[in-house]
Structure 1
Amino acid sequence: GDALVKLCSGMIEAGKAYITTNKHFVTGVRDLSQQCKKDEMISILFDQAQRSVRQQLHNFVKDDVRKFKETKKQFDKVREDMEISLVKNAQAPRHKPHEVEEATGTLTITRKCFRHLALDYVLQINVLQAKKKFEILDAMLSFMHAQYTFFQQGYSLLHELDPYMKKLATELDQLVIDSAVEKREMEHKHAMIQQRSFCLQDFSYDDSKVEFNVDAPNGVVMEGYLFKRASNAFKTWNRRWFSIQNSQLVYQKKLKDVLTVVVEDLRLCTVKPCEDIERRFCFEVVSPTKSCMLQADSEKLRQAWIQAVQASIASAYRESPDSYYIERLDRTASPSTSSIDSATDSRERSVKGESILQRVQSIPGNDQCCDCGQPDPRWASINLGILLCIECSGIHRSLGVHCSKVRSLTLDSWEPELLKLMCELGNSTMNQIYEAQCEELGLKKPTSGSSRQDKEAWIKVKYVEKKFLKKLPNGETLPENERKPRRWCVKKCQRNNSTTKAPTARRKYRHEAGNASPAMLSSGGNPLLPMQSMESSGEAEIEQEASDLEDLRELHPGLLMYKAAQARNLPLMAEALANGAEINWVNDEDENKTPLIQAVMGGSLIACEFLLQNGADVNQRDSRGRAPLHHATYLGHTGQVCLFLKRGANQHAVDGDGQDPLSIAVQAANADIVTLLRLARMNEEMREAEGPFGQPGDATYLDIFREFSYMASNNPEKLKRRSLHFSHSCT
């Protein structure tokens, strides 16, 4: 009975598995044809058929057989007791009548109990044998009826499908006929092609007919295979299926693979042929975040792809509004390498987004694009200090970062010092420099409605060829606001919002200051510290002695940049740069100092930012072996130290006196600068320990640098108070 129940249970479990698999199969058929509708009935009938057998046999085994087993146990126990009584009765000694009597009595009682239980046991056996015959037979008969019902209903269900099966057979016959016709047509075309005597090479891809369509109905401007150079260390080349669609450059490995986006928005990129690598037919697509090297199969294909990308850029500018563009690129816009995102700081949140836009647009001339006059410009060239519309920003980006660095006023992160730099210059100031002779030459400036080609031609002539600059008698340019005076005044250009005037600083930085003790150069004895506070407030004037005034016409552009950097005259620095001043010009008459070092001595954080944005070398040293970081540390200019460290200054360099910046700051007891230098060194060691694939920086390091950047640009008096407080506490 147990074996039969187990076999039946196994059959039922297998049946359940069959039902489940059958359901999945029928579901798949239904999804394909939507024809099967009654599969649930089959599983129900099958389940009922199995249960009719299992349940009846289960009751028989668990109830009847269990009672029989219990009776058998009692019978076996009494039998053992009787055998023990027989042994004791046989062993009773005859000379002990009381033991003989006790043993005989026990045997009599045990024998009576055994006979009664034996009678019950025999009865249970007979009942079970009789019940077994009809219970099992009844269960099997019930199972046969269930099976009969199951297959009968299955036949009925399949019989209903007979018309549909006949219909499918008819359609199948038609498909066979259509396939045969199509096969004959293809064979006929194949024979015609062979009759034209085409050679093997004639079957190769004809790239002379490659075309692109920016107005394609399916949105795909151009597609085809290109080799793509991987960004890994091995620079392997892989063949991928590329396409230009929805103002994006995408590719996929196989036809059904998910698209991989190379360029999120083509308006943010530029494309150019690449001839300086070994492989032929290469071109490069450069976006703000990455560069992608691609290879076509022929020169014609390469030109076609380049033209397709350029046409897509122009088309995207015409069709997509700025709001849509900003919404799409919100997650892809990235700041320059010097940016430290400060979105987590609630104070800096107030100067992001629209507030940054409003603040920079309030500068004279910044309410419209610097190059075409379109209102509400939202893009900036951070090294030129101008605002641009989205189309002109794309053209500026194509000039290269050595000429113009483009950033969004609404999408990118803005450091406080860079924001102040933008507010120091502006479209009006820069156009006085770069468009000084525009009207005299009779050239018409493009408008917002002009074509992209006209704008591009104007921008290249203006910023690359610099044809509108006012030429000096010696071949250099005379600044617009300095053409009449013969003497050069380093008086700082003031903004209209200036309200406070600090005391005039007449002390010049002495060359021997570098030899003074670090304690003298701490905040208590530093003669240039007032200049730092004046610069940071943005409201002061700095005037030099009369002996410092030189004839502007005699100044070399490099020397003009050099002196303007110390005087914190940003417009004059931009003027000198436009006239060809070397950004890292060395003054061999003043210990080989550079304009960046002069900006440090002048105490100007913003002048340093302007020079760095235009390519100044943050590690270039003078004849004393001192880089800008050394000078800023000697002078106690915390904001400049923070800026130089963010821009990659080498703090391990030792000057001519054997001092590195950290030892200088420790001796000067400048707690803030010591903190910055040690944090930067710790962060550098952490990155080296993590290897080339480590994280870009420790969160604590970035947070503290954000704090100092914000303080140096917006609350410099706090840095001054901190230094003074630390100095007094030390004394």
Structure 2
Amino acid sequence: MQRKLEKEGWLNGLPLAEVGVPVLPSFAPASAASLSLAASPTVFLVTVTCVVGSCNELGALAEETGWFSARAALEEVEGDVTELELKLDKLVKLCIAMIDTGKAFCTANKQFMNGIRDLAQYSCKDTLVETSLMKFSDTLQEMINYHNILFDQIQRSIKTQLQTFVKEDIRKFKDAKKQFEKVSEEKENALVKNAQVQRNKQHEVEEATNILTATRKCFRHIALDYVLQINVLQSKRRAEILKSMLSFMYAHLAFFHQGYDLFSELEPYMKDLGAQLDQLAVDAAKEKRDMEQKHSTIQQKAALQDYSSDDTKLEYNVDAANGIVMEGYLFKRASNAFKTWNRKKPDHIRRWFSIQNNQLVYQKKFKDNPTVVVEDLRLCTVKHCEDIERRFCFEVVSPTKSCMLQADSEKLRQAWIKAVQTSIATAYREKGDESEKQEKKSSPSTGSLESGSETKEKLLKGESALQRVQCIPGNAACCDCGLADPRWASINLGITLCIECSGIHRSLGVHFSKVRSLTLDSWEPELLKLMCELGNDVINRIYEAKLEKVGVKKPQSGSQRQEKEAYIRAKYVERKFVEKQAASVPLPEPGTKVLPPRQEEKRHSGPEKSLLAGEQGAASQRAVAVSSDEARRESLFCPDELDSLFSYFDTSSKLRSIRSSDSGIQPSTDDNREHLASTISANSLYEPEGDKQESPVFCDSKQPNPGLQLYQAAFEKNLPHMAEALAHGAEVNWVNVEENKATPLIQAVRGGSLVTCEFLLQNGANVNIRDMKGRGPLHHATVLGHTGQVCLFLKRGANQHATDEEGKDPLSIAVEAANADIVTLLRLARMNEEMRESEGLYGQPGQYSTNNHTEMQYKKCIQEFISLQLDS
């Protein structure tokens, strides 16, 4: 029994604590209480030791009183443990948040390090920057690794240890508390039951007493376990908290110690870099002062300069090392059908232009591939544009297209024009040595018809264009300076030029001179024929007629360019050396009526009677005689081709009546065609003599008329007289109001000369001007059956849909005349036009490939008819 009591904490009927035997050491804080409970079979004593500065031992109390005091101490301890649990849970959560934030910081820091490395790779050309950034990024990367180690240690020291303390030790306390409260409740129930038993019921009294005794015994054991758990918790919490915090601090110590060692190794490099930066700052300040001084000097010079011609010379450099003669921003007019400048989006039309490698190119952005405006500057010219609303505009004209450009000022425009002209002249000089080799190869000009190559070979019969043109009297030397072996020509003037003079002619503009190479360009037969009809001697007799009178010395081949340019401008633009017209055209006596050429011829060669009376007689025979050489040949088109072409357009009865031989159409050699063509010519072009008398032409010999001279010379096929009339100021589109408002081009058609028409067209004649009857050159050529002229006008863009006062277009006239060749040509032209429009619908508007097979065949056919006309 004694051993049992000792085991249960009793000695000689007293609690062990009361006889000096400690139950458990107490490590309670100032606000906590350490207690021990003991119970005897008859008395329940409570001893509570409170640590409040010093230990005060409470004496044994009666059961109820002791229990009451012990219960208050237990509640205080329980509240303290609950608050401790809350504090520890909060600390653990804060630790978790800190670790997560730290890891996010490491991730962001790592991305920042990657950015530093990217910057270092970008600065690979700067060794100092690259090396420094790589060293710094490596050091900071090590710091990120140290941070990760620190966060791992914090997780183990704070999170893991404190969570273990809360989940294990405090949970045991809570479990013990639950058991203690349960047994306390059972003891209270036993006491109540024991008090309720009646004394006369001995059996119930014994039972209640036994239950109470057993319950008290169980209560003593549970109470001792509960007190033990409280003491264990109170002592362990101090160790766990301090141990966790100590580990936390050591982790930081290791982190900062590693960082210190790392940066100690980097510190010498950082000091050296700082010294270099100081020197760089000094150098930058010095450079800034130098740049400010230069800037001030440039501003002073700019204030003194007036951007004169000397400034213009600085704008371009022909001998530039990079090959760029001149470059800068220019406004470019759009090349669409509307020819707009796109004012709503000016940045979309302003381009960076440059003259390089004998080409004019532009770019929208620096990295974009250059867009070529002019493939070869030798084949273009540049001129001022004063007839548009915008200022400072100039136009670069090539054989295939023109480009309208706008500079920012007048002096910049002059600089660009001068740069283009100088580049053209330079290109001629550079290519002069290669012209002999290129003569045999002779690359086709982009503005020439591709069909001309075969026809040209037939026409030249093995001879080159250079040889044919130079064999004309005076053409073996330059027309303006006399340099031998000229290889360039002005096709509208009919003269040969040297390289330098050709460049000056280009600068005059195409309305004064159209320059073409005799070796680099392909020559159409009509152009070559035109050159052979004129020549340097003929033109110089006109444009240098009074050269000796005015006392001007003609420049020689060795003269300065400025001298040549001044002379050429005076000769062709100002026409200072042209003799004033006195009576270059044979004029009738005052009061004498001037008849149209055909009527004049009729008056001197036959009886004076109207064409109306004899339109089926003499007029018909004369028209047949004029065109007999051209008409008496076989058509170029076989009947099957004619059937196919006619069926493409129309299947009407009239067409079927003039289709192939089995349908009624006759070859060009039939007398019916000649008679019908001559009849239509007589009826359509000439009025009766009585009608002509109502509108006579009177001329005064004292007032020469260059337009009339050009008008008459065009019919007479006299190209020198035509050139003289133009030199005297004749308007190429002059209208004879006394003869149905006919033009020189219409007269050239009546005269039957294709070369005369070509000369007028090269000098700016309008192919679509019509007379009073609404008939243009194409109508008249169709009426007269001049197939070559029809082809020439179609080639020059004549409007074949225009109708005369009778509502007839050229095709209707050709159908009535049963002229198979002209009908076929007109229909080919319409088919080609329709295909152009069709392709424009599905491609870009207005775009039609010049390499299209149908287009090439059409051009070839046109050129063959022109060549046949020239051969006849």
The TM-score, its normalising length taken from structure 1, stands at 0.59
1:451 corresponds, among 560, 564, 567, to 560
Deviation per residue, 1:11-46 (Å, 9 max, x gap): xxxxxxxxxxxxxxxxxxxxx9xxxxxxxxxxxxxx
1:190 maps to amino acid:
K
2:849 corresponds, among 695, 699, 708, to 695
Q: Which residue of 1 aligns with 2:797?
A: 648
2:483 corresponds, among 356, 374, 377, to 374
Check whether the contact 2:478–2:486 (CA below 8 A) recurs between aligned residues.
Answer: yes
Q: Provide the rounded CA distance (Å) in 2 between the counterparts of 1:432 and 1:378.
A: 22
Assess, with a 3 A threshold, how the Cα gap between structure 1 residues 264 and 530 changes in structure 2: closer, same or farther.
same
Q: Which residue of 1 aligns with 2:861?
A: 704
2:432 maps to amino acid:
P
Assess, with a 3 A threshold, how the Cα gap between structure 1 residues 177 and 318 changes in structure 2: closer, same or farther.
farther
Aligned pairs for 1:612-631 (under 5 A) are 612-631=761-780
Q: 1:611 Cα shift?
A: 1.5
Q: 1:230 Cα shift?
A: 4.8
1:630 maps to amino acid:
H
2:335 corresponds, among 197, 218, 231, to 231
Check whether the contact 1:249–1:263 (CA below 8 A) recurs between aligned residues.
Answer: yes
Check whether the contact 1:395–1:456 (CA below 8 A) recurs between aligned residues.
Answer: yes
Q: Which residue of 2 aligns with 1:116?
A: none
Check whether the contact 1:314–1:452 (CA below 8 A) recurs between aligned residues.
Answer: no
2:529 pairs with 1:420: yes
Assess, with a 3 A threshold, how the Cα gap between structure 1 residues 522 and 447 changes in structure 2: closer, same or farther.
same
Q: 1:524 Cα shift?
A: 11
Q: 1:412 Cα shift?
A: 2.3
Aligned pairs for 1:206-217 (under 5 A) are 211-217=315-321
Q: Provide the rounded CA distance (Å) in 2 between the counterparts of 1:218 and 1:508.
A: 78
Aligned pairs for 1:254-293 (under 5 A) are 254-255=365-366, 257-271=368-382, 283-293=394-404
Q: Which residue of 2 aligns with 1:528?
A: 626
Sequence identity (%)? 61
Q: Provide the rounded CA distance (Å) in 2 between the counterparts of 1:274 and 1:561.
A: 29
Q: How many residues align?
A: 507
Assess, with a 3 A threshold, how the Cα gap between structure 1 residues 472 and 377 changes in structure 2: closer, same or farther.
same
Check whether the contact 2:383–2:509 (CA below 8 A) recurs between aligned residues.
Answer: no
Check whether the contact 1:633–1:665 (CA below 8 A) recurs between aligned residues.
Answer: yes
Q: 1:399 Cα shift?
A: 1.6
2:481 maps to amino acid:
C
Q: Which residue of 2 aligns with 1:398?
A: 507
Deviation per residue, 1:611-643 (Å, 9 max, x gap): 222222222222222222222222221111111
Deviation per residue, 1:495-547 (Å, 9 max, x gap): xxxxxxxxxx9579998589968x9999997242148689xxxxxxxxxxxxx
Q: 1:437 Cα shift?
A: 0.9
In structure 1, stretches of 5+ residues that fail to align are 1-31, 33-170, 493-504, 535-547, 717-731
Q: Provide the rounded CA distance (Å) in 2 between the counterparts of 1:514 and 1:647.
A: 37
Q: Which residue of 2 aligns with 1:684?
A: 833
Q: Provide the rounded CA distance (Å) in 1 between the counterparts of 2:614 and 2:837.
A: 34
Q: 1:365 Cα shift?
A: 0.8
1:694 maps to amino acid:
Y
Q: 1:602 Cα shift?
A: 1.7
Q: Provide the rounded CA distance (Å) in 2 between the counterparts of 1:644 and 1:509.
A: 35
Q: Which residue of 2 aligns with 1:434?
A: 543
Check whether the contact 1:266–1:316 (CA below 8 A) recurs between aligned residues.
Answer: yes
Q: 1:429 Cα shift?
A: 0.9
1:649 maps to amino acid:
A
Q: Provide the rounded CA distance (Å) in 2 between the counterparts of 1:510 and 1:421.
A: 37
Q: Provide the rounded CA distance (Å) in 1 between the counterparts of 2:295 and 2:762.
A: 64
Q: Provide the rounded CA distance (Å) in 2 between the counterparts of 1:330 and 1:532.
A: 34
Q: Provide the rounded CA distance (Å) in 1 between the counterparts of 2:703 and 2:273.
A: 93
2:711 pairs with 1:562: yes
Q: Which residue of 2 aligns with 1:572?
A: 721
Q: Provide the rounded CA distance (Å) in 1 between the counterparts of 2:838 and 2:386.
A: 38
Deviation per residue, 1:265-298 (Å, 9 max, x gap): 5455445566666666655444444444445556
Q: Provide the rounded CA distance (Å) in 1 between the counterparts of 2:273 and 2:355.
A: 38
Q: 1:581 Cα shift?
A: 1.8
Assess, with a 3 A threshold, how the Cα gap between structure 1 residues 656 and 172 changes in structure 2: closer, same or farther.
farther
1:672 corresponds, among 792, 807, 821, to 821
Check whether the contact 1:445–1:458 (CA below 8 A) recurs between aligned residues.
Answer: yes
1:356 corresponds, among 465, 473, 476, to 465
Deviation per residue, 1:79-107 (Å, 9 max, x gap): xxxxxxxxxxxxxxxxxxxxxxxxxxxxx
Deviates more, 1:352-361 or 1:369-378: 352-361
Q: 1:466 Cα shift?
A: 0.9
**SS at the partner of 2:553?**
coil
Assess, with a 3 A threshold, how the Cα gap between structure 1 residues 569 and 461 changes in structure 2: closer, same or farther.
same
2:715 pairs with 1:604: no
Root-mean-square deviation (Å): 4.8
Q: 1:568 Cα shift?
A: 1.2
1:460 maps to amino acid:
R
Q: Provide the rounded CA distance (Å) in 1 between the counterparts of 2:736 and 2:777.
A: 15
Max Rg structure: 2
Check whether the contact 1:425–1:570 (CA below 8 A) recurs between aligned residues.
Answer: yes
**SS at the partner of 1:345?**
helix
Deviates more, 1:630-639 or 1:242-251: 242-251
Q: Provide the rounded CA distance (Å) in 2 between the counterparts of 1:330 and 1:369.
A: 24
Check whether the contact 1:633–1:664 (CA below 8 A) recurs between aligned residues.
Answer: yes
Q: Provide the rounded CA distance (Å) in 2 between the counterparts of 1:197 and 1:361.
A: 59
Q: Provide the rounded CA distance (Å) in 1 between the counterparts of 2:631 and 2:534.
A: 20
Q: Which residue of 1 aligns with 2:571?
A: 462
Q: 1:243 Cα shift?
A: 3.9
Q: 1:447 Cα shift?
A: 1.5
Q: Provide the rounded CA distance (Å) in 2 between the counterparts of 1:580 and 1:565.
A: 15
**SS at the partner of 1:380?**
strand
Q: 1:441 Cα shift?
A: 2.1
Check whether the contact 2:445–2:521 (CA below 8 A) recurs between aligned residues.
Answer: yes
Check whether the contact 1:565–1:599 (CA below 8 A) recurs between aligned residues.
Answer: yes
**SS at the partner of 1:633?**
helix
1:360 maps to amino acid:
V
1:663 corresponds, among 812, 825, 833, to 812
Deviates more, 1:687-696 or 1:433-442: 687-696
**SS at the partner of 2:460?**
coil
Assess, with a 3 A threshold, how the Cα gap between structure 1 residues 621 and 378 changes in structure 2: closer, same or farther.
same
Q: 1:607 Cα shift?
A: 1.4
Q: Provide the rounded CA distance (Å) in 1 between the counterparts of 2:770 and 2:607.
A: 21
2:575 pairs with 1:471: no
Q: Provide the rounded CA distance (Å) in 2 between the counterparts of 1:561 and 1:196.
A: 65
1:385 maps to amino acid:
G
1:403 maps to amino acid:
F
Q: Provide the rounded CA distance (Å) in 1 between the counterparts of 2:626 and 2:702.
A: 29
**SS at the partner of 2:496?**
strand
In structure 2, stretches of 5+ residues that fail to align are 1-124, 126-268, 343-347, 598-603, 633-696, 841-845
Q: Which residue of 2 aligns with 1:584?
A: 733
2:552 maps to amino acid:
L
Check whether the contact 1:225–1:242 (CA below 8 A) recurs between aligned residues.
Answer: yes
Assess, with a 3 A threshold, how the Cα gap between structure 1 residues 430 and 257 changes in structure 2: closer, same or farther.
same
Check whether the contact 1:353–1:411 (CA below 8 A) recurs between aligned residues.
Answer: no
Check whether the contact 2:435–2:520 (CA below 8 A) recurs between aligned residues.
Answer: no
